[in-house]
Chain A
């Protein structure tokens, strides 16, 4: 079946002017980049006005004409207001927190006005539903959050956002395409299960945990779970009414695990990355020091949120054909 939307997207998308980013990374909507068309409601309004005009002309009813002309003038003025409402807007998009494949990325689009004129009903369309439109007071800005579903790991880029408005009467819709360079990092989707790292492929015997969360270095607090030893509970924190918190100890420096591309046998590199991701997450959960080895890339063993983030970033961006991070380094 002929898909008009896709046809249009392919054929005409290059014909539309886009608002480019200025030197400061903010795109400012210029007059030549605003498109405006009547909405369905606007067309109905026009049809009713036309009938009113014909009727009034025919019956030579001057008051009918007067009101017809008044409503037509209101629509004409409203059209300009719709257009003004976008003119000169500054648009800047930025990526949100990294997410895993399958979760929605979130981008923040900051729309602001540098003049003292307030803007109303500024929104970004997304499929059938429309995001809540916002009003922006003069010399201020507002934030619209948009979410995109993710299908692939890597950098999800928001190449372009459509900023639209139907202010004031919903008779016309004005919109513009704004180029952005906002990206959000998408981590690979972790596999459901993964073999213990550091052991031979196929060896499913669980690695005996070296030491326990006992008398080693203090790592930090975490929430109480069933089965935690009462000795590890931070009673002082409890007394300060911060709830049950457990002091974590562990990770003796000698114990480290290598999470290694070569240690897996799956043929599909994406499955390998998925399994590696699960291993990284498991290792981080288990509070062990771990390192990551990918072909041509090695992250030294470490621990903590920063280390986890670095490893996941490597996995997200890893290009098995041609590793970009390696080349950059």
Chain B
């Protein structure tokens, strides 16, 4: 092995430092990665820290190779392969921490410090809170300070010096960072397809409906999206946020259905009224659908409208996404294609005779389809149906059991059974998943739609009216809504489905604080996480450079960067030249005379100046001549000027010339 020069060998404190920075950088990941990964990484950290005291602990070449294999296998076994964000991160972290085992040269530490930057970026794939930004900012600062310390040559007070230098660098880098962040051209679509982690659980509603699916969501206290209306927002019970549309059922589970795809001509609206514009900031769903109010009448960039009037993004929403939509609150849809019409009448096999009798009863009492729908809704209202988040378990035929025995259920039970009954009556119907309502945040002026607002409703096809929304859950008598128990635990506050009483002042205060915190979070989402190409172009538009598009961004970015760097450079190297003490005295002397109108001319030497002053003001002659006797030899002579300096200062302390009473124009300074 080649010998390492002594100044390339890392110091023990530097090894400790890099280990601590890496531990700090790893900590936020520990919550996201599997326990086995943290155990392996923790073991390596422990070995490294112990080796600072007992160097024999450090593994040699073969044990290190074995450890590497264990690390690779550990990540592979934990995540069953290499694909996916978690597996990749686990592998990267394991290898990075393994590098701690061989820090022979300073450049090894530099490499680790550099890769910590990459680790930080990876961590933002898991969590994007402002607190994490602050925390990792401090971690990165520690890494920069480490690089400064590794470079050395700081002389005395080096540790504090390294941190001071790192802080100064960071502060100077902040304006540049801001410029780059605002103006660096972004991609509107990814360069390569993102491997969506198959093991990663998606949040929010899914593309199928099973008993218990939504009640699970309701207990999830997370935010689904925010919506900001332009103008007056609609009433909360009109806020049906449309998501996936389900056609097929086996009597238990609803799914999109075979042969029903999102491609094809967009669902047409024959008539629209009451348009409403709004902006949605959608949290990452790892799905492609975008939520919009019934019915979306416009399509945001990078999305399309499916035949079922659902907005679909062209890319998976893996990060916060902001989009503008116009919806029509009143609308009339076109008739569906034959395949959809057939799917809308498909009835599961497990239909029971009493279900058939029920539908036949309704058919006998109704003249047309719409009357039959009303009869169905009245059934839910009149019979003792209860609305509860914790329905009893249902057996093999949930629809039948729910309708005739338990009669306790949630929106999924109501929508599912209602759609089946309508189909049995020959009315094409389908289920729509989405959210209902939303909580107005008065502080931020927007609506918050929580996962607990997840909802399922039915659309029936009525001749001449197209698809009409019917919400059987809303038909349940409000007195039979169970608003105790689980619904009390909801973090989401009141929804239109429950009328929870606003409790006392403390509860209101807590609620307001929560709204305020959410406004901050919304600002973070809007201005940092959701900052996009559109915002950049809007900024450019405001600067009247809109036509230049991306080129304008680049030009503006380069100009701003250059200007800022120029200012930084000038500020760094500019140094005020300290005036020679003698010259300072002379400047004071000239200043006193200038006050009485006897300014020194730029081209005038001391002797000429003194001559002119004496000629104009003979009364000042003694002091001026004395000054020159002291000043000229001290300034231009070879001797030490220390004594002259004291004498000059003494002389000047009594020199307060007054303006002449009558100053003839002739004697004024020449112009």
Contact = CB atoms under 8 A, between A and B. Distances in A.
Interface string A165-189: 1111111000000000000000000
A120 B147 contact: no
Interface stretch (B115-123, B248-256, B266-274, B342-350): B115-123
B648 interface: no
Contacts of B125: 59, 61, 64
B117 A121 contact: no
Interface string A112-139: 0001111011110000111011111100
Contacts of B528: 62-63, 66
B180 A72 contact: yes
A116 B575 contact: yes
Given A76-B173, A121-B153, A115 B319 contact: no
B404 interface: no
Given A67-B140, A73-B176, A84-B572, A135 B128 contact: no
Given A66-B528, A122-B153, A168 B191 contact: no
Contact of B573 (A51, A72, A87, A123): A87
B191 A58 contact: yes
B181 A65 contact: yes
A207 interface: no
A326 B245 CA distance: 109
B156 interface: yes
Interface in A59-86: 59-74, 76-78, 80-81, 84
B136 A58 contact: no
Given A63-B128, A67-B117, A169-B144, A120 B169 contact: no
B151 A168 contact: yes
B283 to A, nearest CB: 14
B181 A76 contact: no
Contacts of A51: 118
Interface string B118-157: 1011001100100011001000100010011011111110
B74 interface: no
Contacts of B187: 57-58, 60
Contact of B117 (A49, A118, A137): A49
B107 A41 contact: yes
A40 B106 CA distance: 13
B339 interface: no
Contacts of A116: 575
A269 interface: no
B111 interface: yes
B181 A135 contact: no
B575 A167 contact: no
A48 interface: yes
* Among B124, B144, B528: residue with most chain A CB under 10 A: B124
Interface residues of B, number: 58
B568 A80 contact: yes
B534 to A, nearest CB: 12
A199 interface: no
B300 to A, nearest CB: 15
Interface of B: prevailing SS: helix
Given A120-B153, A120-B154, A60 B140 contact: no
Given A57-B187, A73-B173, A77-B173, A48 B154 contact: no
B184 interface: yes
A316 B319 CA distance: 78
Contact of A71 (B110, B117, B186): B117
Interface size class of A (residues with CB under 8 A): 35 or more
B118 A48 contact: yes
A52 interface: yes
A328 B294 CA distance: 106
B154 A135 contact: yes
Given A128-B5, A130-B5, A169-B144, A48 B115 contact: yes
A235 interface: no
Nearest to A137: B155
A134 B153 contact: yes
A56 interface: yes
B117 A58 contact: no
B172 interface: yes
B150 A170 contact: yes
B561 to A, nearest CB: 8
A55 interface: yes
Contact of B148 (A63, A118, A132, A169): A169
A44 interface: yes
Contact of A69 (B170, B177, B530): B177
A54 interface: yes
Nearest to A117: B575
A116 B573 CA distance: 10
Contacts of B151: 121, 166-170
A67 B136 contact: yes
A171 B192 CA distance: 31
A55 B191 CA distance: 9
Contact of B177 (A56, A66, A132, A133): A66
B7 interface: yes
A120 B142 CA distance: 20
B529 A80 contact: no
Given A41-B107, A120-B153, A122-B153, A61 B121 contact: yes
B531 interface: yes
B338 interface: no
Contacts of A134: 153, 155
A45 interface: yes
Given A66-B177, A170-B150, A59 B133 contact: no
Contacts of A167: 151, 153
B43 interface: no
Nearest to B529: A62
B608 to A, nearest CB: 29
B186 A60 contact: yes
Contacts of A54: 191
Given A69-B177, A80-B568, A57 B186 contact: yes
B170 A74 contact: yes
Contact of B110 (A60, A70, A170): A170
A171 B153 CA distance: 15
Contacts of B565: 76, 80
A77 B172 contact: yes
A296 B131 CA distance: 86
B318 interface: yes
A166 B16 CA distance: 23
Contacts of A41: 107, 110-111, 114
B213 interface: no
A115 B124 CA distance: 44
Given A69-B180, A120-B155, A57 B165 contact: no
A50 B339 CA distance: 50
Interface in B166-189: 169-170, 172-174, 176-177, 180-181, 184, 186-187
A59 B169 contact: no
A133 B191 contact: no
B165 to A, nearest CB: 5
B569 interface: yes
A66 to B, nearest CB: 6
A59 B151 CA distance: 34
Given A56-B121, A77-B568, A170-B110, 13 more contacts: A44-B110, A55-B121, A56-B124, A63-B132, A71-B117, A74-B170, A76-B173, A77-B172, A80-B565, A118-B155, A130-B7, A165-B153, A168-B169
Interface of A: 40-41, 44-45, 48-49, 51-52, 54-74, 76-78, 80-81, 84, 87-88, 115-118, 120-123, 128-130, 132-137, 165-171
10 contacts: A48-B118, A54-B191, A59-B319, A62-B530, A69-B176, A70-B177, A117-B575, A121-B154, A168-B148, A170-B150
Interface of B: 5, 7, 107, 110-111, 114-115, 117-118, 120-121, 124-125, 128, 132-133, 136, 140, 144, 147-148, 150-156, 165, 169-170, 172-174, 176-177, 180-181, 184, 186-187, 190-192, 194, 318-319, 528-532, 565, 568-569, 572-573, 575
Give me the 4 closest cross-chain CB pairs, A-B, nearest first. A121-B153, A135-B155, A73-B173, A73-B176
